């Protein structure tokens, strides 16, 4: 899978989207930093005129054996404009746990999943998520919903959005698999949400 451990490439990508802020470490320990290919984890905050973005910074780095996950992931919404510690903290902690899950899965599993599916779903712990987004202590995530005009690659690696799921939406994914993920992505797009995350968003399915 393609790889990049060049922060300037990521800065160039995000600089075309908005204003790139300071890099930081994780808020908690859910991201399994030691499992990241480069052995440590990092994140960057980006501000656009209408939203804030929290993105992994180096998840695609090459490991000691030269292998790479081949992707960076990000989450975007108005609640992230003021950074990681504000009302969007739940989105940041969801991003960090998703990054940890991907790192733990390893390059082979991630590469296979991306080759087989345009959209990937995960279930993570509830973390800081609002209670009405949680089912049985779990939060569902959909990775890869496209925002029109937003590039899907950073250099040679994938840039995947993360969209939190309402319990009813997660139930559709669990019941229908790939078809459910596609149907959900289409419904998000039809209602104008695309990949934007927002605690006030109502279920689209």
Binned at pLDDT 50, 70 and 90, residue 139 comes out as very high
Q: Is residue 158 part of a domain?
A: yes
Look-up: residue for tokens 């060049």?
Answer: 6
What is the reported pLDDT for 146?
Answer: 96
Is the pLDDT reported for residue 14 higher than 60? yes
Give the whole-angstrom CA distance, residue 83 versus residue 116. 34
Q: In this predicted model, what pLDDT tens digit does every residue of 161-170 receive, in sequence order?
A: 999 999 999 9
Mean pLDDT of 19-45: 89
Number of domains in the chain: 1
Angle at 43 between CA 41 and CA 44, to 5 degrees: 155
Say how far residue 90 (Cα) sits from the centre of its chain: 13
What is the reported pLDDT for 85?
Answer: 86
Give the whole-angstrom CA distance, residue 205 versus residue 192. 14
Range of the domain at 97: 7-190
Q: Is residue 196 part of a domain?
A: no
Lowest mean pLDDT among 22-36, 48-62, 182-196: 22-36
Give the whole-angstrom CA distance, residue 197 versus residue 203. 12
Cα–Cα separations (whole angstroms), residue 57 to 86, 151, 183: 20, 17, 30
Report which of 121, 120, 159 is spatially closest to residue 140, judged by C-alpha positions: 121
Q: Is residue 102 part of a domain?
A: yes
Q: Is residue 119 part of a domain?
A: yes
Mean pLDDT of 174-178: 96
Binned at pLDDT 50, 70 and 90, residue 44 comes out as very high
* Four-residue CA torsion sign, 123, 172, 184, 190: negative
Q: Is residue 93 part of a domain?
A: yes
Q: Is residue 2 part of a domain?
A: no
In the predicted model, what is the mean pLDDT of the chain? Answer: 93
What is the reported pLDDT for 55?
Answer: 97
Q: Is residue 199 part of a domain?
A: no
What is the reported pLDDT for 3?
Answer: 45
Residue 19 · residue 84 · CB < 8 Å: no
Residue 12 · residue 32 · CB < 8 Å: no
Give the whole-angstrom CA distance, residue 107 versus residue 6. 18
Mean pLDDT of 2-20: 82
Q: Is residue 90 part of a domain?
A: yes
Here the tokens at position 27 are: 């808020």
Is the pLDDT reported for residue 73 higher than 50? yes
């Amino acid at each position: 899978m393609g790889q990049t451990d060049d922060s300037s490439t990521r800065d160039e990508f995000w600089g075309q989207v908005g204003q790139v802020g300071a890099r930081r470490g994780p808020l908690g320990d859910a991201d399994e930093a030691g499992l990241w290919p480069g052995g440590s984890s990092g994140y960057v905050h980006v501000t656009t005129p209408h939203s804030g973005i929290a993105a992994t910074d180096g998840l695609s780095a090459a490991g000691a054996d030269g292998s790479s996950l081949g992707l960076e992931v990000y989450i975007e919404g108005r609640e992230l404009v003021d950074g990681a510690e504000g009302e969007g903290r739940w989105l940041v902690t969801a991003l960090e746990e998703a990054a940890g899950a991907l790192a733990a899965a390893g390059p082979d599993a991630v590469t296979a999943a991306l080759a087989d599916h345009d959209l990937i779903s995960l279930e993570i712990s509830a973390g800081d998520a609002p209670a009405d987004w949680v089912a049985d202590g779990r939060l569902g995530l959909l990775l890869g919903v496209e925002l029109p005009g937003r590039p899907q690659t950073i250099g040679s690696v994938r840039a995947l959005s993360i969209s939190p799921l309402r319990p009813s939406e997660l139930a559709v994914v669990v019941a229908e698999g790939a078809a459910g993920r596609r149907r959900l992505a289409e419904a998000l797009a039809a209602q104008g949400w695309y990949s934007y995350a927002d605690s006030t968003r109502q279920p689209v399915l």
